[in-house]
Structure formats: structure tokens, C-alpha cells
């Protein structure tokens, strides 16, 4: 700015010649209101021209000026338009009375403005620049200035002349346009869609700078510019696309379509939109839908696979509404229910609950479980087939709901015919828990029910029950004499008579061989059990007619009660079912010992006796192993000769704690234990050995 001031060699006079005014760059700056020097009145043409020029400058939408290059831009002339531009009057600028042009410029722009002006003056050329100003109201405006330096014939800078106009709105528009352009470019850069402009002949006129996947393109987008459709696509595709372009131009409506092409990486699919433009051209937007197409193809394949499984599955598959109407059914389901086709099934079965289920409540239970858990597995029911025959089915189902609202859409699932499986299961159950000959419960089932009775008695003090243990008398004779076939028939006949003697809540079981047990539920006293025992014995005493043979038999019965009813009759309470069976067997043993074909009720003395017998059995086996037996000899004397002619060998048991035990206490037990034969051989050996010793010792006699 100091250099500009140095170039000012003289003070510019307020009055100027017309010639000087007309030499500036289109800027004519006579004084306001056409006040001209006196000599100019002698020239009417010049006067008229100056007035015209003054009028033009006064109406200029901006600010014309002339200032000194003194470093402060001291104004010598300012047009009337400065007020609308800056809010200051012209006189405010003249000689910097109120503000200088330098002060008007936005502070951060001043150095740049002066630099550009200085550079233009140095190069003796006009200057053009934009910058910001601060108006009198404190507002910021953008202005554009054009001016030049006025030089003397000797080259001295005399003044600066120019004009300034308001470009704020233009600046805002430009900046907004620049922002929009940048945003549009960023949008295009982020887009994977391809955008082209084609004319009505199919030539590519423009290409938007989008960023599609290069692997999906036949050619790079920039190589498509200027090409016709027939140079880009196959002929049949190009003809079709050209017709779409002409259709969009003619109808002024958007055309939507899909197309594909083969790339080095496989088939690529696009969804295209052709929209008419303002002239005879269209905008073509192509979006890559390859993945969507692949997903659709995968879905179609999955649907085809599902349909194949649905149609060919061995299990029945269904979809139903919540109120029991079939939405779909496969052929297997139709066959399972006895219908020819799924269509017939769905037409005939309109109320699943009442038409299909033998027990409609099972359907209600099925739906309840689905509502609570959204899934049900292996739900078993009996259903009617078309011919009203009944089968067992197992259903697996789930509730299908709307992913957004959770609303129930339908139920779907599978159905399997388990009739044969049920039958096999029942047969296995029969084998596991029932006697194959008589059909009565076996030992396992009887012990299970007896265990339940024991637990029930613990929970309910008033509940009592009894166990009867039966053993047939003379069954071995029948079996050995008439054969096992008749023996089996006898067991079956006895089972039927026993069932006839009992209530429905009681249980009769065959433990094996000719042994039967009975569980009498809810008895009140001992007499309830003994009456049943008497009735059984009366029934069994009647003859059995088996294949022409009249067979008689009877039964010994042992009875045990679950809880003491009369003092001394039984122990207070049982904790284990096997203890009950043990004591019933003990009572049976007592009945047999007292004469057979009778019954005995277990009491505490039997228990003690049973314990004694058990201990005796243990000691007896140990006696054989420990040689605790002894032979006592009693001589036989002839009354004729008074000579010893022999001896009786008498067996005694020298018990380690009880002392000498006589045979009447253990011989019958030895027979039951199977020890009597080896015991007899031991006696013979010991007697012969003793006789030999006597002979060796010279004992007289034969």
C-alpha cells in the first residue's frame, strides 16, 4: 500500500476533463449531478454526454468510485449506489470523512485485496476480485470489484477507478451449488448403481461417476461413453432396450425391467429403470441384484427341495389353523388316515378335534401344550381313519408366528403311525410284567404294586392291606402223572378262579411254578383277609376238568397284614415290600407244617421261629463242613445167646453253643436243604470205619 502511495505523484483535482474520464476502463466519473468546469459549457455535446453518463452511473446497481493511491484509498468520487451496497452515503467516503474503503473491507481479506490490486497495477492491467465487506449495519456481504489504475503520460499512477457490485446471493448460490456438487459426487462415489444417459438412438451420452463392482461389468463405464446399445449388448438385448428407451420418451413414463449378462465371474443380474429426461434422452439406472437373484434361486431350490420332501416323505406333514382346519397336507398324511389324496383329506376333515381324535380332549391338550411352549414332541393319541378303524399316532408340531408381531399364523408338524410300535411296546410290557402262561401280573409287577401300597400306608395311617402267599398242594403229583400240558392248564384254571374271588382293586400274581400271591387293598381287619382265604380254598377244592381228567387240588395260604390290627398279630409296620413277602412265605410254611390246605396269619412267634430256622440252616451247613456230627452206638444183644450181634448207629450234632442236638430238631430241615443224602453217606462211612477199628482191636462177636 505504501508503494501505491508513492506512485501518486500529485493530488487529483476534483474536476476532470471529459477526455480523462473517457479513457478509464469503461468507468466515467464526472462529479455528481453533472457539475463540470466552466469551459465545458461551451461544448453542448460534451455536456449532454456527461449528463447521460452521470445518469447511467447513478442507476448502476453497485458502487462506482475514484480514489487516490495513497494507501488508504481516499475517495475522490463515489456513486449514489454505495448506500444500497454498504449502508454509507457517498459523502461518508469522500476524503474518508467517516470511513475509508480500506476499513470497509473485511479485515482478513484486506491483505489479499491489496496484493491482487498491486499485482494488476504492476502489470498495467485491470484487476478483478471478490471479497467481503462489513456494512454500516454490521452485516457481512460478498462483493465483486473491477477497476484499473489511471496513469499520467509520464507513467505516474494518478488514481484508481472502478466499480463494486453485491454478489452475496450469487456467492451463496455458488457455494450451495458447490456443496451440492460435492455431495452429489460423494453420493455417486458411494453408489454401486450404474447411471447413464442415452439418447433416442441408443447412444450413451453421459456416465455418472458411480462405483459399481468391476466384476459385474462387460466393460469399464468410461469405455461405454459414446457407444450404441448394439455395441454394448447382444443384438436381441439391444433391440429390447432400445424399445424401452423409445417407450419412455414417447409415453414420458418410467420403464422398469431386469436383465442379465455373463461375466468372467459368472452371471450378473441387474434391475434397471429408464426415465425420460427433458429432451429426447433418458436416464438409465442399473442396480446390481445378482445376490438377490441368487438368493431367490436358492429359495426356489429350497422350496423345490422342501416340496419334494413334503410330497415324498414317509411321515405325514401338515399345516393347520388354530381352530382345526387343514391348510396343507402331504400324500403320506392322507394315506395314514386312509384317504386317497390330500385334497380329499382336507375336504372331508373340517373339524379335526371331533372328526379325527377318538378322545377330543387329546386335541385340546395338544393345542394347550402348543400355546404354552410353542412346540410339542411325541404327543400320542388315538385317531380314526376314514374307515373308522382306530390307530395310534405320534405328533411333533410347532407354532409358527409372525416375526414382527408374534401373532400366531398356523401350526405345522409331522404325524407318524405308531400302532405297531405301541403293540410291540405293549407286548414287551406284557413280557416284562405279566406271566406268559396265565396272563397274571408277574413278580416284578406284583412287587411294584406292593411297594406302592407300602408307600401309601406310610402317607395314610388309616390305609391297611394284606398279602396272601399261596402254594398248591399236590401240584407236583399232577404234573408228574398227567404231564406238563395238563399242569399248565391247571395253573391257568386256578388263575381264573383266583381272579373270580377278588375285587377289581386287588392284585393276584403268579410268582413262578405253583406259587401265587395276592394283594388285598383297603382292608379293615384280619377277618377281611381270612374270609378271602377261605373263599379261595373253597373254590380250589372243586374239581377241575382238564382234557377229560378230573383233577383235585388245594392250596396252603400264608397271610401277612401291613399294620398291626390286633395285638400280637403282626409287627407294627413295614418299610419294604420284600419283608411283607418274606413274612407271608413264613406263614405259608407254618400252614404247610400244620397239615396243608389251610391258612395261617403271620405273627411275631413265626418271625422268631423263622429266624431260628434260618440260623439253624446256617449252623447246619457249617456243621457238615466242620465235622460237628457224631455217631453214638447202641449194642444189639441176642436174648438167646446173650451175645452182641450188632449195633445201632445214632446220629447226634455237637453244636458249639447249644451242645448236643438230637435228630428230631434238624433231620426234616436237612431234608429240605438237600443235605440228607450226603449226611447218610457220612454215617455209613463213619459206622464202617468204627466197625473195622473194633475188629482190629479183637472185639468179640461177629
Active-site annotation, residues: 514
Mutual angle of helices 419-433 and 443-459, in 10-degree steps:
80
CA distance 584 to 466: 9
CA distance 460 to 189: 85
**Residue 699 burial (CB < 10 Å; 0-12/13-18/19+)?**
exposed
Beta carbons of 247 and 255 less than 8 angstroms apart: yes
Residue with cell 382265604: 533
Beta carbons of 517 and 446 less than 8 angstroms apart: yes
CA distance 1 to 602: 138
Beta carbons of 588 and 610 less than 8 angstroms apart: no
Q: What is the CA radius of gyration of the chain?
A: 63
Residue with cell 455528481: 32
Q: Is 499 helix (H, G, I), strand (E, B) or coil?
A: helix
Least Cα distance to 26 among 98, 116, 126, 108 occurs for 126
What secondary structure does DSSP assign to 537-588, as a single string?
Answer: HHHHHS-EEETTEEE--EEEEEEEESB-SSTTSS-SB-S-HHHHHHHHHHHH
**Residue 28 burial (CB < 10 Å; 0-12/13-18/19+)?**
buried
Q: How far is CA 542 from CA 24, 104, 221, 554, in A?
A: 156, 141, 111, 9
**Cβ neighbours around 631 below 10 Å, total:** 16
- Strands 554-561, 599-601: pairing kind: parallel
Beta carbons of 298 and 304 less than 8 angstroms apart: no
What secondary structure does DSSP assign to 219-278, as a single string?
Answer: S-GGGSTT-BHHHHS-HHHHHHHHHHHHHHHHH---EEEEEEEEETTEEEEEEEEEEE-S
- Strands 408-417, 316-320: pairing kind: antiparallel
Least Cα distance to 106 among 125, 127, 129 occurs for 129
Which string of b and e fits 521-550 if b means at least 16 CB within 10 Å?
bebeebebbbebbeebbeebeeebebeeee
CA distance 294 to 166: 59
CA distance 552 to 580: 30
Beta carbons of 261 and 232 less than 8 angstroms apart: no
CA distance 352 to 395: 14
**Cβ neighbours around 661 below 10 Å, total:** 19
Please state the φ and ψ torsions of residue 253, each to the nearest 5 degrees. Answer: -125, 150
Beta carbons of 500 and 539 less than 8 angstroms apart: yes
Phi-psi region of 622 (alpha: psi -120 to 50; beta: other; left: phi over 0): alpha
Helix or strand holding residue 101 (H, E): helix 101-104
What secondary structure does DSSP assign to 391-417, as a single string?
Answer: EEEEEEEEEEE-TTT--EEEEEEEEEE
End-to-end CA distance of the chain: 175
Beta carbons of 434 and 445 less than 8 angstroms apart: yes
**Residue 450 burial (CB < 10 Å; 0-12/13-18/19+)?**
buried
Q: Which cell is 140 given?
A: 457481512
Amino acid at each position: 500500500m505504501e508503494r501505491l502511495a508513492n506512485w501518486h505523484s500529485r493530488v487529483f483535482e476534483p474536476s476532470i476533463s471529459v477526455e480523462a474520464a473517457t479513457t478509464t476502463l469503461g468507468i466515467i466519473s464526472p462529479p455528481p449531478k453533472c457539475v463540470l468546469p466552466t469551459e465545458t459549457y461551451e461544448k453542448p455535446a460534451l455536456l449532454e454526454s456527461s449528463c447521460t453518463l452521470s445518469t447511467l452511473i447513478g442507476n448502476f446497481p453497485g458502487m462506482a468510485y475514484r480514489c487516490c493511491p495513497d494507501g488508504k484509498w481516499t475517495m475522490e468520487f463515489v456513486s449514489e449506489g454505495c448506500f444500497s451496497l454498504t449502508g454509507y452515503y457517498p459523502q461518508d467516503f469522500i476524503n474518508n470523512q467517516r470511513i475509508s474503503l480500506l476499513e470497509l473491507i473485511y479485515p482478513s481479506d484486506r491483505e489479499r485485496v491489496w496484493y491482487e490490486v498491486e499485482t494488476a497495477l504492476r502489470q498495467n492491467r485491470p484487476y478483478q476480485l471478490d471479497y467481503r465487506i462489513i456494512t454500516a449495519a454490521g452485516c457481512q456481504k460478498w462483493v465483486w470489484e473491477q477497476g484499473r489504475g489511471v496513469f499520467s503520460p509520464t507513467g505516474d499512477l494518478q488514481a484508481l477507478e472502478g466499480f463494486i457490485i453485491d454478489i452475496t446471493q450469487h456467492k451463496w448460490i455458488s457455494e450451495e451449488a458447490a456443496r451440492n456438487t460435492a455431495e452429489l459426487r460423494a453420493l455417486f462415489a458411494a453408489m454401486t448403481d450404474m447411471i447413464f444417459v442415452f439418447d433416442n438412438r441408443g447412444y450413451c451420452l453421459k456416465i455418472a461417476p458411480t462405483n459399481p463392482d468391476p466384476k459385474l461389468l462387460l466393460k469399464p463405464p468410461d469405455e461405454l461413453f459414446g457407444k450404441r446399445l448394439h455395441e454394448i449388448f447382444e443384438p436381441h438385448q439391444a433391440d429390447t432396450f432400445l424399445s424401452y428407451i423409445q417407450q419412455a420418451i414417447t409415453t414420458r413414463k418410467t420403464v422398469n425391467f431386469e436383465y442379465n449378462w455373463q461375466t468372467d465371474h459368472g452371471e450378473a443380474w441387474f434391475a434397471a429403470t429408464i426415465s425420460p429426461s427433458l429432451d429426447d434422452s433418458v436416464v438409465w439406472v442399473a442396480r446390481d441384484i445378482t445376490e438377490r437373484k441368487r438368493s431367490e434361486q436358492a429359495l426356489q431350490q429350497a422350496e423345490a427341495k422342501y416340496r419334494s420332501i413334503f410330497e415324498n416323505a414317509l411321515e405325514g406333514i401338515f399345516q393347520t389353523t388354530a381352530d382345526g382346519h387343514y391348510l396343507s397336507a402331504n400324500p403320506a398324511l392322507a394315506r395314514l388316515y386312509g384317504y386317497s389324496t390330500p385334497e380329499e383329506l382336507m375336504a372331508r376333515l373340517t373339524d379335526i378335534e371331533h372328526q379325527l381324535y377318538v378322545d377330543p380332549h387329546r386335541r385340546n391338550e395338544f393345542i394347550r401344550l402348543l400355546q404354552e411352549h410353542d412346540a410339542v414332541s411325541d404327543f400320542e393319541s388315538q385317531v380314526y381313519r376314514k374307515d373308522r378303524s382306530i390307530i395310534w399316532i405320534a405328533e411333533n408340531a410347532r407354532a409358527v408366528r409372525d416375526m414382527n408381531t408374534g401373532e400366531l399364523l398356523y401350526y405345522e408338524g409331522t404325524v407318524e403311525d405308531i400302532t405297531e410300535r405301541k403293540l410291540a411296546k405293549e407286548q414287551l410290557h406284557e413280557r416284562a410284567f405279566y406271566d406268559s402262561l396265565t396272563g397274571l401280573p408277574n413278580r416284578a409287577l406284583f412287587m411294584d404294586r406292593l411297594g406302592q401300597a407300602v408307600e401309601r400306608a406310610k402317607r395314610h395311617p388309616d390305609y391297611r392291606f394284606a398279602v396272601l402267599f399261596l402254594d398248591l398242594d399236590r401240584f407236583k403229583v399232577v404234573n408228574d402223572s398227567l404231564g406238563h400240558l395238563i399242569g399248565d392248564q391247571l395253573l391257568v384254571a386256578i388263575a381264573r378262579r383266583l381272579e373270580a374271588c377278588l375285587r377289581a382293586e386287588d392284585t393276584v400274581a403268579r410268582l413262578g411254578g405253583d406259587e401265587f400271591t395276592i394283594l388285598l387293598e383297603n382292608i379293615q381287619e384280619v377277618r377281611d383277609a381270612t374270609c378271602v382265604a377261605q373263599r379261595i380254598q373253597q373254590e380250589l377244592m372243586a374239581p377241575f376238568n382238564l382234557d377229560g381228567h378230573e383233577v383235585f387240588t388245594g392250596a396252603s395260604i400264608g397271610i401277612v397284614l401291613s399294620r398291626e390290627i390286633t395285638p400280637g398279630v403282626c409287627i407294627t409296620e413295614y418299610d419294604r415290600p420284600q419283608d411283607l413277602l418274606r413274612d407271608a412265605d413264613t406263614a405259608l410254611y407254618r400252614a404247610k407244617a400244620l397239615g396243608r390246605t389251610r391258612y395261617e396269619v403271620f405273627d411275631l412267634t413265626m418271625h422268631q421261629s423263622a429266624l431260628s430256622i434260618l440260623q439253624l440252616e446256617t449252623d447246619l451247613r457249617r456243621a457238615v463242613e466242620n465235622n460237628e456230627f457224631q455217631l453214638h452206638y447202641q449194642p444189639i444183644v441176642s436174648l438167646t445167646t446173650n451175645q452182641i450181634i450188632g449195633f445201632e448207629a445214632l446220629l447226634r450234632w455237637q453244636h458249639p453253643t447249644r451242645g448236643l442236638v438230637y435228630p428230631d430238631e434238624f433231620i426234616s430241615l436237612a431234608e429240605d436243604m438237600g443235605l440228607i443224602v450226603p449226611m447218610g453217606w457220612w454215617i455209613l462211612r463213619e459206622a464202617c470205619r468204627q466197625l473195622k477199628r473194633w475188629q482190629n482191636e479183637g472185639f468179640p462177636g461177629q
